[in-house]
Structure 1
Amino acid sequence: MSLAECDSSGDSLAQTEFEDHHDVPVDADAPFNRPDADVILRTSDNVDYRFYKFLLSLASPFFMNMFALPQPGPLEETADQTKYGLHIIPISERSIVVKKLLSFCSPVYDTDVPALEDLDIVMAVLDAADKYDMKRVGKFIVKMITAPRFLEQEPMRVFAIACRYRAEQETVIAARYMLRYAISEPAYVAELDYISGADYHRLVQYHSQCSQAMSYITRLWSSYPLPLLDCKLCRKKGLSRIPLKEYQDSVIDALRVRPCAESLLNPEWIESMARKAGSCATCRERVPRKMEEYVRDLTVPVNEIVSEIKLQIDFR
């Protein structure tokens, strides 16, 4: 039975990326060349992966149903091509995707998790897992996409992928990370095509609600007075010289655009506040450190405000 014509939807791997096409079939490297395997999966770039029907059946109802069908004998005209006496199942995925997918189906992956180098590979493996109905594998992979290396580089893609696969915890993590950006800053990503307009609207709504809620900070000014910075050289008070209204407006303006604690911890914002302090050369060096210490305290209520606001996406 051939699966080569069953293309994975949304395959984001370019045809020329990652591995070259082999003109003739070659065997995959260990551990996918074991002689005790009982089936071969041949990828679109002609790499043969020897694996086990039992493990494929456990991971995938798709393969379980396939293997439950009567299998033709090796001499029958309808029989698939064979190699090493094993039936070959052609599949449309490339070898880099199949290697990752089968690694997740292996009983050792709980202690040796396959590496997912970038979100293109993540999407390709997720598409394959979805195609072959490997729900457990798909859920495991989605849990990996909130790693800092993915969130920091492509948070909108992480959000869209998690939302597409209805992974609530990962979607919420990505949505909260998106608060570090103005709502108009993230560029379009192809993964948005796989979620609904309603889901994206909920993300925008969540950002807007967090932004509006930052006005609550104005009730807390008395609990967070600007720190003093006495300077024996200039006889000025350092941070206390920033006009209170100007300081408060700067905080609220920063939080309304990017409603998260990281806005106040941004070195550029801290530096701008230090410049407003207008201190002498001696205390000027101490202002950024003092301001950073101060805003770290202020991030506590900011995080509390954000935590009270829910992302209104239906994950059922």
Structure 2
Amino acid sequence: MSESPVLLESDSLPHCATSELDSRQPESLEPVDAAAPFNRSNADVILRTSDNVDFRFYKLLLSLASPFFANMFALPQPGPLDKAADQTKYGLPIIPVAEKSFALYKLLSFCSPVYDIELPVLENLDVVMLVLDAADKYDMKCMGKFIVKMIIAPEFLEQEPMRVFAIACRYRAEAETNIAARYMLRFAIWEPAYVAELDFISGSDYQRLVKFHASCGQAMSQLVRLWSLFPLPPLDCKVCRKNGLPRLSLKSYQDSVIDALRVRPCAETLMNTEWIEVLVRKAGSCPNCRDRVPRKMVEYAKELAVPINEIISEIHLEIKPY
């Protein structure tokens, strides 16, 4: 009688969720079969994970995805009854792998035909790195490129832009690296905290990010010639002026905008509530203006985003191959 398949973690669960598989100790448990679709009887090889879960899969699919496995299977293979043969199960050779079942499930899902299984969900960047490391280990270059394209999803960029940049840069994914670098313009260059993935890129790579950020900031001075086309929203009203409240000169107002954009060269900078509050205090705006200015500034930032993005598009972050 065959062993009962073990249920793998659902793709909907976060990577850090505690599961039976995570707590399995290989030295204390007998191997069990993975759940469908990795328990098919017509498979021709078994991959056994470090937590003793057996995945039945196909040599052809592994060979197409991985030169590592293609070379392995090209070697003369002993028969199932050959005493020189490695361990077998169901008459199939067993290949031990260092990955845990959680990671191997996702890796093999990427190797499977799209009509056979849905693409696995990569819940967070920790999961991304698990799968990318495995793909890199087995020389699955095409799969690695495909997975790297997934890291620029909004949920990853918004939560951990520096990690996205470092991962994309590590795998020399130029388009994704540039997208992450542009997202980083929402922060002052010194604001993002250290992330472990920075250890896998060179100092030159990080220096190019700093240079890109600085170049974009310096280029914001080009907006000076666009004030007539994009006049700044007023910080005061007739009531303010009638009551003789302090006013911020137009030149100081424009300089404040340019200075803010030099530090964080993106339209989102002008939507920052703390920065807007400083401006209205300098202008001595009345209560009505203090309520109105943030809304007007958001509208203005959306308009100014067009020339800002055009200026930034002229600046390229160079990613050199290793």
Of all paired residues, the percent bearing the same amino acid is 72
1:29 to 25, 29, 35: 35
Shift of 1:270: 3.1
TM-superposed CA distance for 1:277, in Å, is: 4.2
Q: Give the Cα–Cα distance (whole angstroms) in 2 for the partners of residues 262 and 231 of structure 1.
A: 25
Give the residue type in structure 1 aligned to 2:40.
R
* Residue aligning to 2:23: 20
| CA apart distance, 1:20 | 1.9
Query: What's the CA shift for 1:313?
Result: 2.1
Residues 200 and 227 of structure 1, relative CA distance in 2, 3 Å threshold:
closer
Is 1:285–2:291 an aligned residue pair?
yes
Matches within 5 A, 1:1-316: 19-22=22-25, 23-108=29-114, 112-227=118-233, 241-315=247-321
- Conservation of the 8 A alpha-carbon contact between 1:274 and 1:291: no
Q: How many equivalent pairs are there?
A: 303
- Tell me how far 1:308 sits from its aligned partner: 0.8
Corresponding residue SS for 2:93: strand
Q: AA paired with 2:22?
A: E
| Secondary structure of residue in 1 paired with 2:23 | coil
Distance 1:224 1:217 in 2: 9
CA distance in 1, matches of 2:240, 2:66: 73
CA distance in 1, matches of 2:282, 2:72: 70
Please give the alpha-carbon distance, in whole angstroms, between the structure 2 residues aligned to 1:124 and 1:232.
61
Note closer, same or farther for the CA distance 1:232–1:179 as it changes in structure 2 (3 Å cut).
closer
Q: Distance between the aligned counterparts of 1:19 and 1:264, measured in 2?
A: 46
Instruction: Give 1:141 shift.
Output: 0.2
- The TM-score normalised by the length of structure 1 is 0.87
Query: Are residues 156 and 231 of structure 1, via their aligned partners in 2, closer, same or farther at CA, if it must alter by over 3 Å?
Result: closer
> Is the contact between residue 49 and residue 97 of structure 2 (CA under 8 Å) also seen in structure 1?
yes
CA spacing shift, 1:187–1:119, aligned 2, 3 Å? same
In the alignment, the residues of structure 2 paired with residue 294 and residue 236 of structure 1 have an alpha-carbon distance, to the nearest angstrom, of 26
Unpaired runs of 5+ residues, structure 2, are 1-14
8 A contact 2:234–2:293 mirrored in 1: no
Computed over aligned residues only, the root mean square deviation of the Cα atoms, in angstroms, reads 2.7
Deviation at 1:178, TM superposition (A): 1.0
Q: CA deviation at 1:241?
A: 4.7
* Offset, 1:228: 5.1
Instruction: Output the amino acid matched with 1:289.
Output: R
Instruction: Determine the structure 1 residue equivalent to 2:6.
Output: none
Contiguous gaps of at least 5 residues in structure 1: 1-12
Alpha-carbon distance between aligned partners in 2 of 1:110 and 1:72, rounded to the nearest angstrom: 30
Cα 1:236–1:292 shift into 2, 3 Å: farther
Runs of 4+ more than 4 Å apart: 228-237
> Shift of the alpha carbon at 1:315?
4.1
Q: Distance in 1 between matches of 2:53 and 2:117?
A: 26
Q: CA deviation at 1:283?
A: 4.3
Deviations 1:142-182 (A, max 9, x none): 00000011111111111111111111100100111111111
Greater displacement, 60-69 / 215-224: 215-224
CA shift at 1:225, angstroms? 2.3
